């Protein structure tokens, strides 16, 4: 990257070209490389800055993201519908070591999420196992492309990696694209693995099983949010019997579920808002209730098995609105009513201390 405070347009295009080469020319013998790309993009959003600065990430924090990504995938496919069709194979040989390690941990510990699993003394042992695998395999080989090496993302050390100058910025800029590409290729890899054919059957539910929060979990979240706030729509304030669980920062923009990002919305507002960011008045309200009720929201997360971090959720929101400003994005006010997202939106982030 150059000497400017942010990568130039040419440098960003070059970065995207190399990402494309990685997807097209790299040897994917397992799904680990997809998981690493998703983890790096997420961590860049949550911890990076919108400038050329480098970003150091420890192997252990990357490993914890792997545990989060593979946690539900280590359950039998179709288990959300109360059936047991087997564990999906995540590589071309025997079952992936990370999936096996999580399965073994689950077998001897009764936790419904990686967040609650952190309460177990054995969780550190699991993280150590996964850290060893992550360091020896995807971190070591991700940048091997087309029979050679293209070390454009990071430099490695025994216990961490450092995203190179401008890489965290580009990962933040193109996170939705990288996420979508990695998730699509991940699902395609599983579909192409012959060992998974008897497990998958004719079901078209694979991507929801791999990456989305289960309906059961969302039902628990919704029930407890109603206890906390009442059956009132976060957006229009109407009190209705039927309320949906909505992602305040759209799931399509940042597809990682965090408890502070969930709000209750009436079906009309939920459908109308869809995949857009919410207007400033909604943002201010989200800040206020998230800050005021943070402890209660974290307790709901523990019950539902959903990660909860106000600091992380605010960082994601700041990133999302900041990116929208650069593209002259519009924010949803109410059905058929939008407003331009201005830099004044960013002043709201000073409300969270």
Q: What is the DSSP secondary-structure string of 116-175? A: HHTTSTTHHHHHHHHHHHHHHTHHHHTTEETTEE---SEEE-SSEEEEPTTHHHHHHHTH
- Is-above-0.85 flag for pTM? yes
Q: What is the pLDDT along the chain (353 residues), one digit of tens a residue?
A: 544 699 999 999 999 999 999 998 888 999 999 999 999 999 999 999 999 999 999 999 999 999 999 999 999 986 444 333 489 999 988 899 999 999 999 998 888 889 889 989 999 999 999 999 999 999 999 999 877 899 999 999 999 999 999 999 999 999 999 999 999 999 999 998 988 988 887 666 788 889 988 888 999 999 999 999 999 999 999 998 899 999 999 998 998 999 999 999 999 999 999 999 999 999 999 999 999 999 999 999 999 999 999 999 999 999 999 999 988 999 999 999 999 999 999 987 765 54
CA angle 299, 304, 306 (to 5 degrees): 85
Q: Whose CA is closest to 62, among 52, 83, 79, 47?
A: 47
* Domain-terminating residue out of 176, 211, 246: 211
Cα–Cα distance between 259 and 247 in angstroms, integer? 9
Instruction: Give the pLDDT of residue 83.
Output: 37
339 SS3 class: strand
Instruction: Give the pLDDT of residue 205.
Output: 75
Q: DSSP strand E in 258-336: where?
A: 262-265, 330-334
Token pair of 153, please? Answer: 């993302």
Residues 259 and 246 in one domain: yes
Residue 123, number of CB atoms within 10 A of its CB? 18
* Sequence-separated (6 or more) residues with CB below 8 Å from residue 138: 32, 33, 35, 36
Cα–Cα distance between 309 and 249 in angstroms, integer? 14
Residues 339 and 286 in one domain: yes
284: domain range? 215-351
DSSP 231-257: SB-TTT--B-S--EEEESS-TTTS---
Residues 158 and 34 in one domain: yes
Q: How many domains does the chain have?
A: 2
Residues 164 and 309 in one domain: no
* Domain-terminating residue out of 188, 211, 234: 211
Is 1 inside a domain boundary?
Answer: no
Cα–Cα distance between 101 and 95 in angstroms, integer? 10
Residues 174 and 264 in one domain: no
Cα–Cα distance between 98 and 112 in angstroms, integer? 17
Residues 225 and 275 in one domain: yes
């Amino acid at each position: 990257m150059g000497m400017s405070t942010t990568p130039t347009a040419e440098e960003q295009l070059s970065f995207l070209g190399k990402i494309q080469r990685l997807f097209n020319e790299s040897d994917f013998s397992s799904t680990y490389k997809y998981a690493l790309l998703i983890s790096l993009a997420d961590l860049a959003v949550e911890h990076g800055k919108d400038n050329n600065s480098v970003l150091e990430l420890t192997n252990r924090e990357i490993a914890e993201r792997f545990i989060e990504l593979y946690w539900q995938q280590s359950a039998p496919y179709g288990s959300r519908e109360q059936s047991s069709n087997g564990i999906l194979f995540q590589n071309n040989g025997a079952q992936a070591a990370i999936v096996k390690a999580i399965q073994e941990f689950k077998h001897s510990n009764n936790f419904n999420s990686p967040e609650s699993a952190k309460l177990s003394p054995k969780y550190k042992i699991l993280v150590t196992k996964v850290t060893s695998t992550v360091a020896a395999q995807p971190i070591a080989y991700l940048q091997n492309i087309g029979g050679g090496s293209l070390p454009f993302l990071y430099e490695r050390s025994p216990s961490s990696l450092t995203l190179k100058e401008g890489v965290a910025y580009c990962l933040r800029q193109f996170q939705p694209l990288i996420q979508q590409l990695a998730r699509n290729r991940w699902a395609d890899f599983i579909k192409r693995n012959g060992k998974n054919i008897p497990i998958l059957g004719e079901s078209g539910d694979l991507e929801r099983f791999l990456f989305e929060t289960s309906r059961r979990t969302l039902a628990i979240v919704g029930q407890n949010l109603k206890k906390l706030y009442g059956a009132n729509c976060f957006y229009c304030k109407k009190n209705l019997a039927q309320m949906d669980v909505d992602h305040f920062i759209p799931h399509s923009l940042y597809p990682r579920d965090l408890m502070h990002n969930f709000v209750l919305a009436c079906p009309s507002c939920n459908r109308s808002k869809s995949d857009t960011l919410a207007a400033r008045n909604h943002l201010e309200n989200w800040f206020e209730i998230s800050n005021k009720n943070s402890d209660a929201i974290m307790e709901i997360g523990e019950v539902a098995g959903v990660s909860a971090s106000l600091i992380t959720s605010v960082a994601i929101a700041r990133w999302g609105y900041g990116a929208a400003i650069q593209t002259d994005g519009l924010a949803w006010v109410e059905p058929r009513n939008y407003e331009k997202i201005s830099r004044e939106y960013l002043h709201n982030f000073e409300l969270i201390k």
